[in-house]
Chains A and B, each alone.
Chain A
Amino acid sequence: QSVLTQPPSVSGAPGQRVTISCTGSSSNIGAGYDVHWYQQLPGTAPKLLIHGNSNRPSGVPDRFSGSKSGTSASLAITGLQAEDEADYYCQSYDSSLSGRVFGGGTKLTVL
């Protein structure tokens, strides 16, 4: 059971918009800790997608955006492309565990 809760899967057609939620608690997201997002393409290591809730590293398309409110965060992907098919993980810090925690991951399928 992951500390941060994500939907196991989401799907969308090419060109559509999808969102992935990440729900935490008062000891992590709700405590004000930043949320970061990672993309893991099949058979590869995770790669940073969004840091500090809504910041994109250079090279990440602006189709990807992040937001945070209360005890939750969201990753939005617009203009879905086949290459976006991957697993997505949120990550934050938890004060009660004194360490970094991940969501269980969400598998994005592009129909």
Chain B
Amino acid sequence: EVQLVESGGGLVQPGGSLKLSCAASGFTFSGSAMHWVRQASGKGLEWVGRIRSKANSYATAYAASVKGRFTISRDDSKNTAYLQMNSLKIEDTAVYYCTRLSGDDSSSWYRDWGQGTLVTVSS
């Protein structure tokens, strides 16, 4: 059974930092592209960024809204993906989901989702 379990969410002040983790099991993590998607309360889904597999040079990409502030990484030995969030803003408040892509091309879809972890940015 595929499982994606996010952790690390919490309350942080504006300008602060937080690191989310996504522990994966039930599939070949090292061969999978992993994405982060967020959802503000009562709002829609917003793609945050992704990291590709080693075969694709661990390439990363980010939404314009987080570029330069957020960094995605992975540790294939631990089957875990990470989202390092710096210079947090109030508008980053959201539930953050870790997701697994079905493949690694433009036609791929989000086949598995974690339960999400809540990040609240507030003073």
A residues near B (Cβ < 8 Å) are: 2, 33-34, 36, 38, 45-48, 51-52, 57, 89, 91, 93, 95, 98-105
A48 and B109 alpha carbons, distance in the complex (Å):
8
Is B97 a contact of A46 with CB atoms below 8 Å?
yes
- By a CB distance below 8 angstroms, the chain B residues around A33 are 106-107
- By a CB distance below 8 angstroms, the chain B residues around A93 are 106-107
A46-B45, A101-B47, A102-B46 in contact; A91/B116 too (CB < 8 A)? no
**Of the candidates B110, B114, B115, B116, which one forms a contact with A38 in the assembled complex, judged by CB atoms under 8 Å apart?**
B110
A95 and B105 alpha carbons, distance in the complex (Å):
12
Interface of A is mostly: strand
Interface centre among A33, A46, A99, A100 (most CB of B within 10 A): A100
B residues near A (Cβ < 8 Å) are: 35, 44-47, 61, 63, 97, 102, 106-107, 109-111, 113-116
Closest A residue to B115 by beta carbon equals A45
- By a CB distance below 8 angstroms, the chain B residues around A38 are 45, 110
Is B97 a contact of A51 with CB atoms below 8 Å?
no
Is A36 a contact of B109 with CB atoms below 8 Å?
yes
Min CB distance B45 to A, Å, is 4
- Report the 10 A-B pairs with minimum CB-CB distance, sorted nearest first: A36-B109, A93-B106, A105-B44, A45-B113, A51-B109, A102-B45, A104-B44, A34-B107, A100-B47, A89-B45
**Of the candidates A46, A48, A52, which one forms a contact with B107 in the assembled complex, judged by CB atoms under 8 Å apart?**
A52
Min CB distance B103 to A, Å, is 11
- By a CB distance below 8 angstroms, the chain A residues around B46 are 102
Closest B residue to A105 by beta carbon equals B44
A72 and B102 alpha carbons, distance in the complex (Å):
23
- By a CB distance below 8 angstroms, the chain A residues around B107 are 33-34, 52, 93
Is A45 a contact of B114 with CB atoms below 8 Å?
yes
List 24 contacting pairs A-B, 8 Å CB cutoff, sorted by A: A2-B44, A33-B107, A34-B107, A36-B109, A36-B110, A45-B97, A45-B113, A45-B115, A45-B116, A51-B111, A52-B109, A57-B111, A91-B109, A93-B107, A95-B106, A98-B61, A99-B47, A99-B63, A100-B35, A100-B47, A102-B44, A102-B45, A103-B44, A105-B44
